[in-house]
Amino acid sequence: MLTIDEIARLAQVSPATVSKVLNNRLYVSAETRARVERVIAETGFVPSQRARGLSKRRSFILGLLIPYTSDQLFADPHLLEIMRGIEAVANLREYNLLLSTARAANEAASACARMLRSDVIDGAIVVETLDVQPFAEVLAQQSASWVVIGYARQSAVPSVHADDYGGALQATRYLLELGHRRIGVISSVPRPFALEERLRGVIDALAEAGLCLDKQLVAQGDLSIESGAHAGQVLLAQPYRPTAIFALNDRMAFGAARAAAELNLTIPDDLSIIGFDDISLAKLLTPALTTVQQQGFAMGKAAADTLFTLLDSVAPEPSTVIPAELIIRGTAGPPRG
């Protein structure tokens, strides 16, 4: 294998000098630098990262931890966009990305701790698909650098999340503007904190219009399509039924659409539906689903930026909120009559 010593020999300088050139250090004469660079180019030499890491005490690798149950991951709308955002930043810093998709949260947390201790990774980004608490406990001890994409409530970890509250506010206001007054909501039990925020957005938007959230018009699902269909049936079976349904995630919105179809209700004429997430299938519903989009790329980018801030030992923003945007497509319109 080509080593720095070999390059030094070919360029007739010391390994230390080659190292200086490699690291863009000052105090190397222009001609020496040129000579070394030529040899490097000719040989295609790439320095060994692990030797470099051993000296620099860095691995130049970031861990991306996605604790998941396969079903969740498939459903996650913007995970890939998040990854792209992280990668974009990591590339600039010449960092690589290590992927870990452990199953249970505590299992993932200890795997993460191991990678940190064995210095395989310099820091980690944890996607809050499961409970973040186990990570907080394990990683706080070893004063590790990490950030969570999601809500890191009690723990003091920097976090990045979408503006769930604002997104729900927009969606609800839109329905109100269209003229809806009886707006059904499909929420979830147990409720991830993001949904808690979305629900708060609904309530506040209704309050702006002088309305209260009618308990009768809130049905609970479990985030799945099936549960959305069931919740939709419940809402639509009411004597004085809602003219619009805001499902707090897209999959449940799909379910609601199915429930409407079973009752021969036309969307959006008989029933408006809005979802949240903008999963890739949202466009495939007919009509296409009006929903709230999260900016995965921006979230990934922000998370990586935050992590590098930590690695540079400067205090990062405790939390970053990425805007969410209402995407108007075809499932919401003015109520009939």
Partner DNA sequence: CTGAAAGCGCTTACAG
User: Interface residues with DNA (CB under 7 A)?
Assistant: 1-5, 12-20, 22-23, 26-29, 31-33, 45, 47-48, 51-52, 54-57
Element (H, E) at 319: strand 319-322
Residue 115 contacts its own copies per CB under 8 A: yes
Question: Which residue has 């269909």 as its token pair?
Answer: 229
Q: What angle do CA 231, 235, 240 make, to 5 degrees?
A: 175
**Which of 318, 303, 309 minimizes the C-alpha distance to 65?**
303
Distance CA 326, CA 164 (A): 11
Sequence-distant (≥ 6) Cβ neighbours of residue 195 within 8 angstroms: 164, 187, 188, 248, 249
Which of 25, 38, 114, 181 is close enough to bind its own copies by CB under 8 A? 114
Query: Is 84 a residue that touches its own copies (CB under 8 A)?
Result: yes
48 belongs to the binding site for its own copies (CB under 8 A): yes
98 in contact with its own copies (CB under 8 A): yes
For residues 126 and 107, what is the distance between their CA atoms, to the nearest angstrom? 13
**Token reading at 287:** 């009509």
E-only strand ranges, 66-155: 96-100, 123-127, 146-149
Of the residues 3, 32, 96, 319, which one makes contact with its own copies according to CB under 8 A = 96
Distance between CA 233 and CA 249 in Å, rounded?
17
**Contact present, 256 and 229 (Cβ < 8 Å):** yes
Q: Does 212 bind its own copies (CB under 8 A)?
A: no
Q: Residue 65 or residue 136: which is nearer to its own copies going by CB? A: 65
Which residues are bridge partners to 146 per DSSP?
Answer: 124
Least separation, in Å, of the C-beta of 314 and DNA? 19
Question: Which of its own copies, DNA, none sits in contact with 212, Cβ below 5 to 8 A by type?
Answer: none
- Out of its own copies, DNA, none, what residue 15 binds, judged by CB under 5 to 8 A for its kind, is DNA
Task: Tell me which residue has tokens 């609904």.
Answer: 202
Question: Binding mask 229-268 vs its own copies (x if CB under 8 A, - otherwise)?
Answer: -------------------------x---x--x-------
278 lines the binding site for its own copies (CB under 8 A): no
Binding site for its own copies (CB under 8 A): 44, 46-51, 53-54, 59-61, 64, 70, 73-75, 80-81, 83-84, 87, 96-101, 114-115, 117-120, 225, 254, 258, 261, 280-281, 284, 286
